[in-house]
Amino acid sequence: MDKVIANKAQGSLFDEDETRLVFKVVKKLPYEFSYIFTTEDGKTRTIMIKDWELGALYWKCIEKAKGNEIEACQKVKEKYLDYMWYQRDLYFFMGTTKQFHNISPNPFIIIGTFYPPKIDTQQLSFF
């Protein structure tokens, strides 16, 4: 983090006004969140979520809960499970990390989510 701040303070020869914008390093989440689900092959999977949207949601929830971490985590769970998983069509954007790419049996993590409204397939028609 110190290196990032030092690089920001160094300045730039170009776009001088842009480099003066306020720059904040995002706080690290105190928890790791993951989904546990069963895939089509019948295997139970646990995939960690490293999505910026989840982090933003957690910090917003902790603020609304006046620092109550249990309440904030419950609100995150409600959004990511009750809303996204059960009420929407949930898709994961998957990625890997260099740290675990060649050594882990499953190096994938969720780096983003897409959750459009569910579509009633009985009402779909090609004509």
pLDDT at residue number 126:
62
Contact 50, 110 (CB under 8 A): yes
Token pair 């910090």 is at which residue? 59
pLDDT at residue number 2:
67
- Supply angle C-alpha 92, 95, 101, rounded to 5: 140
Segments in 1-127 forming alpha helices (H): 2-10, 16-19, 52-64, 69-77, 84-87
pLDDT at residue number 42:
94
For the range 60-69, what are the long-range contacts, defined as Cβ-Cβ under 8 Å and sequence gap of 24 or more?
69/30
pLDDT at residue number 63:
96
Per-domain residue ranges for the chain?
Answer: 32-116
- Over the Cα atoms of the chain, what is R_g? 20
Positions of the chain with pLDDT lower than 70, given as ranges: 1-24, 121-127
pLDDT digits (tens, 9 = 90+) for 26-51: 788 999 999 898 989 999 989 999 98
Among candidate residues 80, 36, 37, 35, the one with its CA nearest the CA of residue 55: 80
- Burial class of residue 27, CB neighbours in 10 A (0-12, 13-18, 19+): exposed
pTM above 0.75, yes or no: no
Give every CB contact of residue 61 below 8 A, 6+ residues apart in sequence.
Answer: 71, 72, 73, 75, 76
Q: How far apart are the first and last CA of the chain?
A: 57
Residues facing 45 on adjacent strands:
37
